Amino acid sequence: MDATERDAAGLDAADPLAPARARFALPDGIIYLDGNSLGALPVPVTERLADAVTRQWGQDLVRGWNDDGWWAAPERIGDRIGALIGAAPGQTVAGDSTSVQLFNALTAAVRLQAGRPPGTPGRGGVIVTDAGQFPTDGYVADSVGRLLGREVVRTPDPYAALDRGDVAVLAWSTVDFRTGELWDTARLTAAAHDAGAVVVWDLCHAVGALPLQMDTARVDVAVGCSYKYLSGGPGAPAFIYIAERHQAGLDQPLTGWNGHSRPFDMEPGYQAASGIARARIGTPPMLSMLALDAALDVFDGVDLAAVRAKSLRLGEFFIAGADDVLAGLGFEVVTPRAAERRGSHVSLRHPDALPLMAALIEAGVIGDVRPPDLLRFGFNALYTSFGDLARALEILREVTASGRYREPRFQVRPVVT
Ligand SMILES: Cc1ncc(COP(=O)(O)O)c(C=O)c1O
């Protein structure tokens, strides 16, 4: 056992969240550091999904919409997610993908501003969004801009952009998917409001990894996915949070029948439901919804402040280990070192990121890569141990120092997402 592994053993022994690992079905022999892309399988999901298929669908058939609570599931699960993002009940609903929710959110936010009295700063203004964000956010913003005739400004500095004085909507990600940089949701939301802008947050890389305060930060709208730190499963439903004060006035473009005030009256004209139900769109993917519901059980009794505290310690440990164990091997830590600017993954830059990750995965350490040269390592405080990180660093050192990653079979993209 080297010094890093000895430190890890001590930290794991003192970790109050260590027992939470048993809530996940992690495969033997794998060190899983990609829960920031697809969370590991929570134990309750297997049995509950089997029940959803065999009993609920198989036996109850269409009655399941009432008898098994399928119809109410998006709001019920939305409230469970709401509890993890600092949202009082009735403001969060689960469904669709983040991309779809973003389109709905951005379009509705621009329309909200367009309805303000003449002379209001954001009324006819631009959409400002993060220059380095996840592609879907930029693609959707561009499309909304074209649709509504608004300029889209992509910038690395939202505060400077707000100084323009004509920002209708600021759309930003809490944690940068590449670098893991964390933005101060409350501070940026307040700055946006001071400038007359409405703010739409993308919480994908933050939800379940750290405490969030949608209500107290007076966030307007937020969206996020549930397949990362919430471990809802591949393609799990996304969610949207709409602050109660905006719900009645929000005109969403995707007016599916599930968001109608009387969906089963099958009326020809659309009349939005009151409350967060208006953010529903079409028939939800119920099996995925029920898998997510079961997955959220792993957060029962969990204090997100403790999750955050451990996640920060994991990040510190990994960064210090990278400085030490990987010294001289061409790696650069690109994630901010300051705790208040760091989410729950750490990215290392290396010119051979792709073959290195492929070799690492073959050796049983699963992370991922983001082009052109970043290796990402995600830490889920509920199941990542300090021992995992010590071992992963040692394997990465070995794979790199030996030059093994240069073998031709590693010159391929190792993972899809
Ligand atoms: C910040 C961010 N937004 C959006 C998405 C994905 O959107 P969707 O759920 O529509 O695939 C991701 C996926 O990794 C992401 O990291």
**204 Cβ below 6 A of ligand 1:** yes
Q: Would you call 173 helix, strand, or coil by DSSP?
A: strand
Per-residue pLDDT of the chain (417 residues; tens, 9 = 90+): 677 888 999 999 999 999 999 999 999 999 999 999 999 999 999 999 999 999 999 999 999 999 999 999 999 999 999 999 999 999 999 999 999 999 999 999 999 999 999 999 889 899 999 999 899 999 999 999 999 999 999 999 999 999 999 999 999 999 999 999 999 999 999 999 999 999 999 999 999 999 999 999 999 999 999 999 999 999 999 999 999 999 998 999 999 999 999 999 999 999 999 999 999 999 999 999 999 999 999 999 999 999 999 999 999 999 999 999 999 999 999 999 999 999 999 999 999 999 999 999 999 999 999 999 999 999 999 999 999 999 999 999 999 999 999 999 998 765 555
HSE-up (13 A, CA, CB side) for residue 27: 9
Query: What is the number of the ligand 1 atom nearest to the C-alpha of 133?
Result: 1
Residue 348: which residues within 8 A CB-CB, separation 6 or more?
A: 322, 326, 331, 332, 333, 334, 374, 375, 377
**136 Cβ below 6 A of ligand 1:** yes
**Is residue 159 within 8 Å of 195, Cβ to Cβ?**
no
**226 Cβ below 6 A of ligand 1:** no
Q: Is 310 in the active site?
A: no
- Terminal alpha carbon distance of the chain: 34
**130 Cβ below 6 A of ligand 1:** no
**213 Cβ below 6 A of ligand 1:** no
- The active-site residue out of 278, 280, 376, 391 is 376
Q: Is 241 in the active site?
A: no
Question: Which residue, chain included where needed, has tokens 């899983």?
Answer: 32
- Which of 129, 172, 204, 228 has most ligand 1 atoms within 8 Å of its beta carbon, as the pocket-test mutant? 204
Quote the pTM value. Answer: 0.97
